[in-house]
Amino acid sequence: MKQWREPVVTTYSRANKRPAFHVLISCLLSLRTRDEQTAAASARLFAAARTPEAIANLPVPLIEKLIYPVGFYRTKAKTLVAVCRTLLEQHGGKVPAGIDELVKLKGVGRKTANLVVTLGYGKPGICVDTHVHRICNLWGYVKTKTPDQTETALREKLPREYWIEFNDLLVTFGQNLCKPVSPFCSRCRLAFMCPRIGVARWR
Using the 8-state DSSP alphabet, how is residue 126 labeled? -
Q: Name the 3-class secondary structure at 70.
A: coil
Indicate left, alpha or beta for 36 from its phi (over 0: left) and psi (-120 to 50: alpha). Answer: alpha
Helix (H) or strand (E) holding 54: helix 52-56
Mapping DSSP to helix (H, G, I), strand (E, B) and coil, where does residue 123 land? coil
Contact criterion met (CB below 8 Å) for 188 and 169: no
- Interhelix angle 147-157/130-139, rounded to 10 degrees, is 60
Measured between alpha carbons, how far is 139 from 133 in angstroms, rounded to an integer? 10
First CA to last CA across the chain, in angstroms?
19
Active-site residue list: 111, 129
Angle at 168 between CA 165 and CA 174, to 5 degrees: 135
